[in-house]
């Protein structure tokens, strides 16, 4: 793992967690899914609102009695069960291929054996499955009953960490994972779980894709986005003053 440390990240990470902890409701550890269930839930949930993916997940569980049943069912039936999920027409066959790959490699569709793997090798094992990216793999390890030290980076977390200055503006999700894990040596798995949901909430409510509500952000005084905004405002103000002076001088 390559460490990407910027702006005294170890201290920043605890400050981020503590400040968001004071603003958002305490993240309660809900009943966790087993790793295979979490894998399926994360697989169908990308680019989809939580309530929609949760409904689709429940539909799959109710309709089929086993993961083998989902893997071997007609693909059209799986797509129907995923109605409302973004890219359901692609996720249905991809999910079946992923489950079949697990069965072929592990002997059954059961990911409990990953409990005996170090995080890096468990991530690698999962990412060898077709259509499984770093986010799905990390969520399977951290969000499930495995409770492994793997930080989950979704689009909201990626956006917040870039704007904050924790990583460079062009950093991808894997590099954010590396940076957080390098700075979070004293974070337990549950701390990483909590940090993810705090940052996700901030990205959904305050630091959104379309707007940044910097004045109400608990991290604004530390945030590079706020610093850049202030610098731009100062530059514009100076430019206006210069133009006014030039106008007065030529009058």
- Inside any domain, residue 11: no
107 φ/ψ sector (left φ>0, alpha ψ -120 to 50, else beta) = left
What is the full per-residue pLDDT of the chain (251 aa) written as tens digits?
A: 444 444 456 668 888 888 998 888 777 777 899 999 999 999 999 888 889 999 999 999 999 989 999 999 999 999 999 999 999 999 999 999 999 999 999 999 999 999 999 999 999 999 999 899 999 999 999 999 999 999 999 999 999 999 988 888 888 999 999 999 999 988 999 999 999 999 999 999 999 999 889 988 999 888 886 555 443 333 344 445 556 655 655 65
pLDDT at 14: 86
Nearest to 165 by CA among 3, 11, 12, 1: 12
Domain ranges, residue 227: 220-250
Angle at 101 between CA 118 and CA 196, to 5 degrees: 45
Residue 117 lies in a domain: yes
In a shared domain, residues 137 and 227: no
Domain annotation covers residue 76: yes
The answer to whether residue 197 sits within a structural domain is no
Whether 229 maps to a domain, the answer reads yes
**Is residue 6 a part of any domain in this protein?**
no
Reduced to 3 states (helix: H, G, I; strand: E, B; else coil), residue 150 is coil
Domain count, the chain: 2
Domain boundary among 142, 166, 197: 142
Picking from 107, 123, 142, the residue at the C-terminal end of a domain is 142
Q: What global pTM score does this model have?
A: 0.84
């Amino acid at each position: 793992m390559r460490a990407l440390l910027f702006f005294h990240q170890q201290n920043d990470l605890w400050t981020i967690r503590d400040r968001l902890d004071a603003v958002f409701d305490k993240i309660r550890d809900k009943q966790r899914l087993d790793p295979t269930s979490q894998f399926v839930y994360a697989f169908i949930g990308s680019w989809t609102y939580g309530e929609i993916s949760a409904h689709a997940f429940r539909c799959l569980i109710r309709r089929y009695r086993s993961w083998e049943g989902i893997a071997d069912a007609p693909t059209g039936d799986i797509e129907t069960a995923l109605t409302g999920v973004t890219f359901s027409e692609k996720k249905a066959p991809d999910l079946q291929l992923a489950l079949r790959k697990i069965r072929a490699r592990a002997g059954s569709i059961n990911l409990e054996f990953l409990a005996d793997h170090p995080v890096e090798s468990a991530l690698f094992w999962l990412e060898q499955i077709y259509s499984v990216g770093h986010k799905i793999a990390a969520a399977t390890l951290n969000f499930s009953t495995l409770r492994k030290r793997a930080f989950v980076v979704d689009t909201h977390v990626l956006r917040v960490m870039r704007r904050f200055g924790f990583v460079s503006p062009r950093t991808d999700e894997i590099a954010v994972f590396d940076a957080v894990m390098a700075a979070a040596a004293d974070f337990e798995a549950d701390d990483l779980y909590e940090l993810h949901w705090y940052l996700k909430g901030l990205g959904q409510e305050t630091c959104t894709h379309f707007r940044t509500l910097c004045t109400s952000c608990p991290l604004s005084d530390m945030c590079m986005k706020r610093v850049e905004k202030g610098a731009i405002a100062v530059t514009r103000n100076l430019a206006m003053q210069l133009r006014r002076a030039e106008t007065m001088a030529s009058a």
